[in-house]
Structure 1
Amino acid sequence: MFLFTKNFDEQKARAMAGLRKALEEGKVDEDIIPLLEKINSLENYFTTSSCSGRISVMEMPEFGDKVNAAWLGKWHREVTLEEVLDAIGRHSKGQLWFLVRSPILHVAARTMEDAVKLLNLAIGLGFKYSNIKSVSHKKLLVEIRSTERMDVPLGENGELWVSDEYIARIVEMGNAQVRRFKGKLKRLKGEIEALKE
């Protein structure tokens, strides 16, 4: 058993202090908290960051410029057409996008064997884009990611390119993706105990 991180327990203690602070400040997606608690209760793992997946309406100067982008609406759950239309109504400049992003978790593992066990579990549960993100003496990090994603351009500089009927369809598709990845998160929470063995 090759131990990558000599001070794993110290790192975990620091990460847990940071998580407690983020929880107090309401900066953690509520529906992922029970999964984080389960992972962090395991001796050989701890979470460093997470997102439970989201639907958003975003305004950006040009695609990919997230630094200068503005959220017009962001939800870590299914959304209504009215919520999305309300967010779209705030659009004034730049490109307008409807986006779906799958959950992402970064989990530090004590050993390479631990990392591989977590990676195999995640991939087996449908988190197909999962990988070992970092391997060094400082950190051994597993990234848990799923495949659900949508990038739909809706308009530019206040002009809407699509109809309300089209928006209703993409909202339905986005919500279906949310249901799918929330189901995967639920299964991961149920199976994470297997890592104790």
Structure 2
Amino acid sequence: MFLYTKNFEEQKARAMESLRRALEEDKVDRDIIPLLEKLNALESYFTTSSCSGRISVMEMPHFGDKLNSAWLGKWHREVSVEEVLEAVRKHKSGQLWFLVRSPILHVSARTMEDAVRLLNLAIGLGFKYSNIKSVSHKKLLVEIRSTERMDVPLGENGELWVGEEYIERIVRIANDQLRRFKGKLKKLEENLNRLGQASRTQT
């Protein structure tokens, strides 16, 4: 069945206005902006949300309670051991976690064929957790996600369970993961022209 998104142009116009405001308010990860611009320049796609991936230190009442959690440190780039230690020293109560999250993009597609084309491209470039998140005439949404992730408990209620040497090791691993998924984002940006070429071939 040839499934397509109704009112696609209107939805894209609203999304682009929302993105413009977010850019003005500096709420978009800077290193992902060129990729967003290229994606949104394609006539059959537009982005609805994005994160370029991050390393963070978080304090939470219990794991998974995002609503009541607090960032003690958050970086969308490689991080130094001293930066992480500075964040760790802020810990007072609840659980203390060191986290790595891979990039995530939500992209609306005009047709199912467009959605599948983007999905296949993303998976082929290493975004193995990508999927088609929503399928209807109102919305065809592709979620682009990679596999890199770390969830490391560091302490609780002001008590640190690990030493500086251990933190040095996990920071090194986290930076390796970050370099890996940032490279995947760059490859995706460089290969988006394949989507445009495929669309022109079908018209």
Listed one character per residue, the Cα deviations across residues 24-64 of structure 1 (whole Å, up to 9, x for unaligned) are: 00000000000000000000000000000000000000000
Residues 159-193 of structure 1: per-residue CA shift (max 9 Å, x gap): 00000000000000000000000000000000011
Counterpart position of 1:98: 98
3-state SS of paired residue (2:58)? strand
2:201 equivalent in structure 1: none
Q: Is residue 2:37 matched to residue 1:37?
A: yes
CA-CA distance at 1:3 after TM superposition: 4.1
Aligned length: 197
Distance 1:16 1:174 in 2: 33
Counting aligned pairs with the same residue, the percent is: 80
Residue 8 (structure 2) pairs with residue 8 (structure 1): yes
Q: How does 1:180-195 map to 2 (within 5 A)?
A: 180-195=180-195
- 1:54 — aligned with what? 54
Deviation at 1:5, TM superposition (A): 1.4
| Residue aligned with 1:138, SS | coil
- C-alpha separation between the residues in 2 aligned to 1:14 and 1:2? 25
Structure 1: stretches of 5+ with no match in the other structure: none
Give the distance between the partners of 2:73 and 2:129, measured in 1 at CA.
Answer: 26
Partner of 1:115 in structure 2? 115
**Partner of residue 87, structure 2:** 87
Segments of 4+ in structure 1 off by > 3 A? none
What is the aligned-residue RMSD (CA, Å)? 0.7
1:157 aligns with 2:153: no
Length-normalised TM-score, structure 1: 0.99
Q: Deviation at 1:6?
A: 1.4
The correspondence of residues 128-139 of structure 1 with structure 2, limited to 5 A, is: 128-139=128-139
The one-letter code matched in structure 1 to 2:162 is V
Distance 2:68 2:4 in 1: 38
